[in-house]
Amino acid sequence: MPLAYALMPVNPAILQATNGFTESSDIVFSRLPGGNYRDVTISVGDVVTVTVYEAQAGGLFIPREAGVRPGNYVDIPRQQVDQSGNINIPYAGSIKVAGLTPRAVSNIIRERLKDRAIDPQAVVSVTEQRGNQISVLGEVNSPQRFPVDPGGIRLMGAIARAGGPKYPSYESTVTIKREGRTYNESMSTVVHRPSEDVLLAPGDVVFLTRIPRVYMAFGSTPSPGSIGGTNNRRFTFENDNMSLAEALAKAGGLDSNRADSKSIFVYRFEPKPLLQQIGVDVSQFPTKTVPAVYKFDMSKPDGWFQADTFKMRDHDVISVAESPSTEFIKVMNPLNAAAVNADTISSVVVNSK
């Protein structure tokens, strides 16, 4: 049974709709759950220090003899947050600090000491962050694992701390692993859309991978071996937004002897809502995506302008049809060959006599 598909001669409305989807289809990071992380919280394994202040001598921590020691505070020995997320403070007991900000822990300590110390105040600080860390790995120049800055850190800042990407943005894919799930997006999208440069959360793993985007060109384009390229039919993108005209140019353009400039096709799968927006009846397609074929007529000037505006996607397939005259020549060649053979045979018979 033949595969059903949607054939769409390109016009300005179709061009605008499909390009709009191309530009928005890669937006992922701005929708990440648990983002917008700004206040660094204390985590299991962190090392914290606590300083307790009293308003005057003679309280819980400061002796009455004013000359015995300077100041009105006492430093609690620094300690590491245990596996239960707790630390111990004299006279305040065990306090669960994991998941809280230093300021919140300070308030808890003050509340627990206020009935025993003289107007107590507490300052809590994290001296070593061992739990709230971010890892940046993969195709970066200097893989790093580092703690979250007090004001948070954005994705591009984290990649910069890891030495930046090894390869161009249009060949790099960024993966963020957060809370057991992974999210992927092209580096180009992060560069060009500020909303995708999201704040990272403690425990995030950022991984850069080199995945060159490719397209294939078939039909009446120059024969394999006549130009450069990967296998001469499979080509890589050379910028963030490659147009159909650029893609055809890299494939060697149209074969002047064979190509039908009225019939240039681009094959890809499109989501149903996009085709419905264009006005295509998608009721015959049972799947979420529809095989779509875009047709360009480059025998007219507007066809070239549309091709230069049409945005290519990863793994698009371009097909250039052969001109009707070429098909006619193909049909006539066997007949011409037969006629030549008949003349040759006749000549041989005559000469033999």
**Segment 127-144, tens digit of pLDDT:** 888 877 899 999 999 999
pTM value? 0.71
What are φ and ψ of residue 258, in 5° steps?
A: -125, -30
Residues 89 and 109: their CA atoms lie apart, in Å, by 8
Nearest C-alpha neighbor of 163 from the set 138, 136, 141, 134: 141
What is the structure's pLDDT at 335?
47
| Sites in the chain below the pLDDT cut of 70 | 1-2, 34-39, 63-71, 224-231, 325-353
Read off the pLDDT of residues 305-348 as tens digits, 9 standing for 90 and up: 999 999 999 999 999 998 875 554 454 455 455 444 444 444 54
Residues 289 and 268: their CA atoms lie apart, in Å, by 10
Structural domains of the chain ordered from first start: 6-24+213-328 (3.10.560.10), 32-38+132-210 (3.10.560.10), 47-128 (3.30.1950.10)
What is the side-by-side strand order in the sheet with 172-178?
A: 144-147, 133-138, 205-210, 172-178, 181-186
Q: Is 188 helix (H, G, I), strand (E, B) or coil?
A: helix
